[in-house]
């Protein structure tokens, strides 16, 4: 089976008490002044790109963070809104940069509201901030993003133009150009228990072995979309069923909630936050075969896993994996942390993080970057070269 013979490394049910091993390093502030950052990725020339969302309608933006930690706006006025269950800001999430083309997964924003009974969701009847929530945008720039010297600002009329299937061409104050297109849309599904199962695209990956497709982690529908880049046509690669709840509080099963998808050779690594009650040990990382949708355990017994990155090591050595946990005790508001796996049993790298949401690894510089949503900061920690 392809999944077995091409698997690079699997950690299966070996996490256990590993977070208590070793002492944590101190993360330092690399950049600040961000608006609820949800995802960060490496950009060209040692830069970072960050997806952010303000608290007002259509305040989503993409920022470029220079190697010195200076933030500048690349795209402004992207779709955003306050969504259920607690009115959290949501808008641009997943990012993927391919040359001068940037792909942006736009989340649910204020498209949905809480339903009439606890645990249910309905489509908002009060009007929404943008018609292009739950979409995948493609933006092509006239030059490398780290050389763009001014922001591209969308108008609400541009959102409608994109919904109609037409491109939007913008020129910034410096005369640089960007062309926006709506590549694909994601929509809710009827659900007997929740009224509707809302879509919430949250992470993006592309494989070097499969350059014609993007893979989108949908945290609402609990699945991975495969999107054809040339046509925008999508299909469900794998639907994740509910997971057993290892905690002592009901229910017996929890929603999977895939929140990050990463390329790993010719396979995909997917992290799972899981749903209520967010019991310790419920979260995990699965290996997914993009050819068949088959899954296999990779790292288990995690807490609110929200991202994973890795780097290859020398000949004969195992790769090194960094796993981000949003919280060590979600319902109690516990801090987040980063675990590192140099071997099947992981150790603690960084703890005390404030609502961390995303990782970016610069292997050349030996730096791991961590987006801190509540703080509006990007933290950094040295991981060696």
Neighbours of 122 (CB within 10 A): 16
- Domain range for residue 148? 2-382
Pairing, β 152-153 against β 71-78: parallel
Which structure tokens are listed for 339?
């675990």
Place of tokens 């780290």: 146
In this prediction, residue 317 carries a pLDDT of 79
Q: What is the pLDDT of residue 385?
A: 75
Look over the chain and give the mean of its residue pLDDT values, rounded to a whole number.
Answer: 92
Asked if residue 259 has pLDDT above 70, the reply is yes
What integer pLDDT is reported at residue 110 of this predicted model? Answer: 97
**Greater model confidence, 7 or 56:** 56
Calculate the alpha carbon distances from 72 to 172, 218, 238 in Å.
13, 28, 37
Whether the predicted pLDDT of 6 surpasses 60:
no
Q: What is the CATH number of the domain that holds 247?
A: 2.120.10.30
Which residue would you say has higher pLDDT here, 85 or 343?
A: 85
Q: How many domains does the chain have?
A: 1
Give the pLDDT confidence of 18-67 residue by residue, as tens digits: 444 467 899 999 999 999 999 999 999 999 999 999 999 999 999 999 99
> What CA–CA distances, in Å, run from 136 to 141, 315, 328, 364?
16, 38, 31, 30
pLDDT of residue 253: 93
Rounded to whole angstroms, the Cα distance separating 107 from 366 reads 31
- Least confident range of 5-14, 21-30, 163-172, 332-341: 5-14
Q: How sure is the predictor about 3, in pLDDT bands with cuts at 50, 70 and 90?
A: very low
Residue 313: the pLDDT is 80
Confidence check: pLDDT of 108 > 80? yes
* % of the chain exceeding 70 in pLDDT: 94
pLDDT digits (tens, 9 = 90+) for 62-74: 999 999 999 999 9
Statement: residue 275 has pLDDT above 90: yes
Least confident window among 16-25, 128-137, 281-290:
16-25
pLDDT bucket at 13, cuts 50 / 70 / 90: very low
Residue 360: the pLDDT is 98
Q: Are the beta carbons of 214 and 106 closer than 8 angstroms?
A: no
On whether the CB atoms of residues 249 and 257 are closer than 8 A, the answer is no
Say if CB 102 and CB 145 are below 8 A apart. yes
Share of the chain above pLDDT 90, in %: 87
Render pLDDT for 368-385 as a digit per residue (tens, 0 to 9).
999 999 999 999 999 987
What does the pLDDT read at residue 384? 87
Task: Examine the pLDDT at 15 and tell me if it is beyond 90.
Answer: no
pLDDT at 125 over 80: yes
Q: What pLDDT, on a 0 to 100 scale, did the predictor assign at position 22?
A: 62
Distance separating alpha carbons of residues 94 and 99, to the nearest angstrom: 17
* 3-state SS class at 45: helix
Task: Give pLDDT, residue 23.
Answer: 77
**pLDDT at 12 exceeding the cut of 90:** no
- Residue 114 has a pLDDT of 95
**Quick check: 264 pLDDT over 60?**
yes
């Amino acid at each position: 089976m392809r999944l077995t013979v091409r698997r690079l490394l699997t950690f299966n049910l070996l996490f256990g008490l590993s977070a208590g091993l070793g002492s944590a390093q101190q993360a330092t502030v690399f950049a600040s002044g961000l608006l609820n950052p949800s995802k960060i990725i490496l950009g060209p020339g040692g830069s970072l790109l960050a997806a952010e969302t303000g608290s007002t309608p259509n305040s989503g933006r993409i920022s470029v963070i220079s190697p010195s930690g200076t933030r500048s706006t690349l795209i402004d006025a992207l779709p955003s809104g306050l969504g259920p269950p607690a009115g959290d800001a949501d808008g641009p999430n997943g990012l993927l940069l391919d040359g001068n083309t940037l792909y942006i997964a736009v989340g649910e924003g204020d498209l949905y509201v809480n339903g009439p009974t606890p645990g249910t969701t309905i489509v908002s009847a009060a009007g929404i901030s943008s018609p292009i929530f739950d979409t995948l945008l493609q933006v092509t720039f006239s030059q490398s993003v780290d050389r763009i010297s001014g922001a591209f600002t969308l108008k609400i009329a541009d959102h409608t133009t994109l919904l109609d299937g037409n491109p939007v061409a913008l020129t910034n104050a410096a005369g640089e150009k960007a062309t926006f297109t709506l590549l694909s849309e994601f929509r809710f599904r009827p659900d007997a228990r929740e009224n509707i199962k809302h879509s919430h695209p949250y992470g993006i990956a592309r494989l070097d072995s499969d350059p014609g497709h993007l893979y989108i982690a949908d945290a609402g529908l609990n699945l991975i979309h495969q999107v054809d880049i040339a046509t925008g046509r999508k299909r469900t690669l794998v639907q994740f069923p509910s997971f057993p709840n290892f905690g002592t509080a009901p229910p017996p099963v929890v929603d999977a909630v895939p929140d990050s998808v990463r390329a790993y050779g010719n396979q995909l690594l997917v992290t799972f936050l899981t749903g209520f009650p967010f019991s310790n040990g419920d979260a995990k990382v699965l290996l997914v075969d993009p050819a068949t949708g088959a899954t296999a355990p990779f790292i288990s017994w995690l807490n609110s896993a929200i991202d994973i990155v890795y780097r290859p090591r020398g000949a004969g050595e195992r790769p090194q994996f960094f796993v981000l946990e949003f919280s060590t005790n979600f319902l109690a508001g516990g801090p987040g942390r980063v675990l590192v796996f140099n071997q099947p049993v992981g150790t603690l790298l960084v703890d005390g993080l404030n609502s961390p949401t995303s990782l970016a690894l610069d292997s050349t510089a030996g730096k791991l970057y961590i987006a801190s949503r509540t703080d509006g900061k990007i933290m950094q920690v040295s991981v060696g070269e």
